[in-house]
């Protein structure tokens, strides 16, 4: 080792400025880093919870939309049925209890 290298390492110095921190400073910096981590984590967790809430609401609305779509499809089918003579006859028999002239209406009485 030459003399210059010996001088640099003799005092523990490598040509860089001394960055050693007192224990109190290290404690304060550590607490500060932990605080920053906790705050950032809370922000992301709050956003995560909001996204989950919105996603659940979206799923509920999609299920509701599917119910309406099914109901609309059923009504369209019924409208198509009512456009036929058989459909009109079916409604007349069910709702109005109409019968043809050669038929007899029988009503069952339940006790």
| In a domain? residue 11 | no
Degrees (nearest 5) of the Cα angle 92, 94, 98?
45
Q: Is the pLDDT of residue 19 over 80?
A: no
69/86 Cα distance (integer angstroms):
26
Of 16, 54, 90, 35, residue with least CA distance to 8: 16
Range of the domain at 43: 22-95
Crossing angle for the helix pair 85-95 and 23-82, to the nearest 10 degrees:
100
| In a domain? residue 85 | yes
More reliable by pLDDT, 28 or 11: 28
Count the domains in the chain.
1
| In a domain? residue 45 | yes
| In a domain? residue 42 | yes
Work out the percent of the chain whose per-residue pLDDT is above 70. Answer: 86
Task: Give the residue-averaged pLDDT of 20-37.
Answer: 93
pLDDT digits (tens, 9 = 90+) for 33-64: 999 999 999 999 999 999 999 999 999 999 99
CA distances from 99 to 74, 78, 84 (A): 26, 21, 18
């Amino acid at each position: 080792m030459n003399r210059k290298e010996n001088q640099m390492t003799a005092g523990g110095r490598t040509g860089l400025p001394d960055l050693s921190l007192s224990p109190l400073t290290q404690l304060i910096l550590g607490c500060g880093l932990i605080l920053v981590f906790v705050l950032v984590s809370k922000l992301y967790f709050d956003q995560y919870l909001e996204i989950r809430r919105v996603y659940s609401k979206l799923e509920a609305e999609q299920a509701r939309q599917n119910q309406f779509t099914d109901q609309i499809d059923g009504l369209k089918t019924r409208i198509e049925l009512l456009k036929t003579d058989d459909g009109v006859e079916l409604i007349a028999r069910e709702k109005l209890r109409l019968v043809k002239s050669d038929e007899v209406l029988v009503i069952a009485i339940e006790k």
